[in-house]
Amino acid sequence: MPQDARLLSAEQFLLATLVGKLAVMAALATTLARYRRFRHILIFERRGWPDRLAFALGLTIPLALGVVSRMLLNYDAADLTLEGAFLAGLIAGPYTGAIVGAAIAFPGFLNNEWGAIPFAVGCGFTGGGLREGCPKEHIWNFSPFVFFSLPRYAWRMLRGFVIEWQVALLLVPIGLEAIRQAVGTRFGEQRLFYFDSPSPWLTVMIYLATVLTVSIPIKIWNNARIEHRLQEQEKLLLRAKVEALKSQINPHFLFNTLTSVSSLIRSQPDTARTVILKLSGLLRKLMRSQEQFVTLREELESIDEYLDIEVIRFGPRLGVRKEIDPASLEVIVPSMILQPLVENAIKHGLTRKVGAGHITLRSRLHGELLLVDVEDDGLGISDERLQTAMSSGIGLTNVHERLRVIYGATGRLELRGSPGKGAIAHLEIPLLVAQEQASA
């Protein structure tokens, strides 16, 4: 840009360019960290060539365009050749760093900047060499605030005669910038692009900007790594909670069913034998299934097997009705979510009822929710019992807790009823169809 066209002095213009350089690198690092494949590359130290190639392309394309912008638009802040090549080597190894460096510098080479490719490749190998010797966590701990800890690092080095890798990570970019300044001053900006400083204090700012342009993306990417690890830990914790809650239901169901069988053995041995056969088939299916989520269709099929056992026990005293919306059958629900509700309706609503009783299963879609009702026309429930139902007893408490753990505030279990008029367990589950991936 011609000097007379600038609204800033030479010093002000260079300082603004250095600030712009930091902003460009921060924006690029933040953008790349949003891509799942790129975050995967940052997290795992053992990377195959496909991952290294993806990492190289993620850096090369925008950085090469930055060099082109510098040559065509005189936007010097977009040229991050030194920092990009060094970062590529530091994160992905010397060969990746050299490849990225050569690719970034190639537009400059076409513009007769003969020193661009050798210098960029050298930066890539330097970053890769530092990576080979430096413990990986020291690399990720490198941050823009390293200057505040320099006295402490210097004291450790002097006291213990050990290598302080944070100091090495600080000095190497400074050394590369010193080489660029020396080569650029000797052979001119036409052979190797560099920032020509009009004053000593701005020379210090150039070196400071180089260190910050290296450390800022490392800080951003490390934050992305930590966030990803926390998310994975939360998923594992959630899965463990769901598995623990689900495993709590199985022995509860088994205990209740065996208690019923024991009451049938003397009076109705043939019925007891049939119940045991049905129970063994249901338990075999439950043990084979490791799924935390199933379709509503599969859940209802499991409920049918459970109700077969109960119908054998109760005979004509127990009737089952279904009012199922076909559109709801492929919605994903937590496995074994309905069985405790059906068991609760039979145990507390129908067992002590004189005469026949019915259980009604309903499902329908309402907006973004699946609504499921388990209704009985049994003895009902008192107002006092409604107040404590969700916190006493295994069945309802388990279902309520599973919905809370999996869906948060969007999943809900509500119990309604009154004495002598039966009860309804009402479920609200966010929609998730079978074609989507469900994970706890």
For 176-235, write each residue's pLDDT tens digit. 999 999 999 998 888 899 998 888 999 999 999 999 999 999 999 988 888 877 777 676
Same domain, 300 and 420: yes
Domain that holds residue 300: 266-430
pTM of the model: 0.59
Inside any domain, residue 111 = yes
Residues 175, 282, single domain; the answer is no
One domain, residues 52 and 143: yes
Same domain, residue pair 226 and 281: no
- Burial status of residue 304 (CB atoms within 10 A of its CB: 0-12, 13-18, 19 or more): middle
Domain assignment present for 237: no
Dist. CA 202–CA 194, nearest whole Å = 13
In a domain, 240, yes or no: no
Q: How many domains does the chain have?
A: 2
The reply to whether 332 and 381 lie within a common domain is yes
For residue 80, tell me if it sits in a domain. yes
The residues pairing with 331 across neighbouring beta strands, listed in sequence order, are 433
The whole-number pLDDT of residue 244 equals 55
User: Does one domain contain both 191 and 82?
Assistant: yes
State both tokens at 260.
Answer: 């019923």
Q: What is the pLDDT of residue 438?
A: 39
Same domain, 135 and 46: yes
Tell me what pLDDT residue 251 has. Answer: 65
- 282 and 222 assigned to the same domain: no
Q: Does 126 lie in the same domain as 58?
A: yes
8 A C-beta contact, residue 42 and residue 225: yes
Task: Assess if residue 440 is contained within a domain.
Answer: no
Q: 288 and 217 share a domain?
A: no
185 and 312 in a single domain? The answer is no
Q: What is the pLDDT along the chain (440 residues), one digit of tens a residue?
A: 444 445 778 888 999 999 999 999 999 999 988 887 787 778 776 667 777 788 888 899 999 999 999 999 989 999 999 999 999 999 988 999 999 999 999 999 999 899 999 999 999 999 999 998 888 888 888 888 888 787 887 777 777 777 788 888 899 999 999 999 999 999 888 889 999 888 899 999 999 999 999 999 999 998 888 887 777 767 655 665 655 555 555 565 677 677 767 777 877 788 778 878 877 777 676 665 556 788 899 889 888 877 887 777 777 788 889 999 999 999 988 887 888 888 888 888 787 777 788 899 999 999 889 999 999 888 888 877 777 777 666 678 878 887 887 787 788 898 888 888 888 999 999 886 544 443 44
